[in-house]
Structure formats: structure tokens, C-alpha cells
Amino acid sequence: MEHDQLIQQIQRLITRARNSDTISGVYAEICQFLQTYDGPRSQFLASIKEYNPRSYMRSSAASSITDILQAYLEYVEAGLLQGVSPERRAQLDVVSDFLAQAQVLLETKAVHPAGPTVVIGAALEEFLRTWIEHDGISIGNKKPSLDAYARTLREAELITKQDAKDITSWAGLRNHAAHGEWEEVADKSRVSLMLEGVNLFMRKYGAEKV
């Protein structure tokens, strides 16, 4: 999203947040917006979450959330919002290339679905690994794997419980393919859903910033 468009969206959310009658409805949108454009570890997002209208007086929540969004608007207008670093951009480009290759393989009749399944799994693992490295998070004594990266990100509250379940499911398909269990990955539609899911996951946690 361009700088001017980002400012317009923040202003729109501020206008909606000022209406205390709709703050409960817009709260989730605000949180998702900040997670996407300022990152899951955003201090603005953390501050917003302190005023969840489900557990806070609605009028006070609306006022506080509006003030935080206004501060975020000033932050963005001042040019303080950092974009993706060249190193991280290169990492995301590599992962995107992997997924594009997987799409081509999936559409090639002569290629067994196990092929693109392995490529999708490799792309997802690279995305999670570089994400963890970029954020300076340690996986501890866990053996590097999709499951280990998912558990680490979940423990850091950077992904949702459902995200972790999805990754576990995708890891299972990748493992079937990697171990030659062809019958488990013979259904192209199932692999296509995996590719779609991974693409959506990456856009949610990274590609929107590229």
C-alpha cells in the first residue's frame, strides 16, 4: 500500500473509532490493520489490545483507541514507519519464487503432486525460518522444522492457534511427499488448497509489506 493510501486508511479507521456505537465492530479491523502494516510486534497494536471493548468500558475504549490511532497516524506522516529491509525483501522474493514454481509444477500434468508439495513445504519453512531470524527469536533446543518454527512463533504470540494448526497440517503433507508416500499426496486439489493456504498465510504475515 502506498504512503498516501496508508494515511487515508488510518484516517478512515480513526473516524470509525470515534463512533462508540461501532467500536466493537471496528476493533478487530483495527488490530488486523496494525498487524499487517506495522507488524505483529507493533507497540501500537499492543496498546490497542489493552482497550478491548469486550472487557473495557465502550466509551473509554473508543476514546483511547482513537488516541492511539491518531498517534500512529502522526508516526506514519512523520515518515517513521520502516519498510521491509533489503535483506528481508530478498528473502521474501526467494520464497515467492518457490511458490510460483510450485504453481507451475502443479499445473503440469506430467508432474506428480508430490513435487509441488515438497516445494511448497520448503518455501513455507524458509519463510518461517527467516522470519524467526529477522525478529531475533530463538527456537531453543528444538530441532529446526516446520513444527518447531510454528511452535516458536505461537509461543511468541506472533501467529494464531489456527495458523499453527494449518502449519502442522501442511507439514504433514510435505512429510508424506518427502518420504515417498505418494498415495497421501495424489490429490492435486488437496495440494492446490495447501498452496492457496500458504500464499494467504504469507500475505498475512509478510507479503503485504513487500
pTM, two decimal places: 0.61
Residues of the chain with CATH 1.20.120: 86-209
Residue 113 DSSP code = T
The SS3 of residue 107 is: coil
pLDDT digits (tens, 9 = 90+) for 80-110: 665 555 565 666 677 788 899 999 999 999 9
Residue 209: which residues within 8 A CB-CB, separation 6 or more? 36, 37, 83, 84
pLDDT digits (tens, 9 = 90+) for 133-154: 878 889 988 899 999 999 999 9
Contact 7, 77 (CB under 8 A): yes
Question: Tens-digit pLDDT profile for the chain (210 aa)?
Answer: 677 888 999 999 999 888 766 677 789 899 988 887 787 778 899 999 998 877 766 667 888 999 999 999 998 888 766 555 556 566 667 778 889 999 999 999 999 999 999 999 999 999 999 889 878 889 988 899 999 999 999 998 889 999 999 999 999 999 999 999 999 999 999 999 999 999 989 888 864 433
Alpha carbon distance 51, 56 (integer Å):
6
Please, what CATH class does the domain formed by 86-209 belong to?
mainly alpha
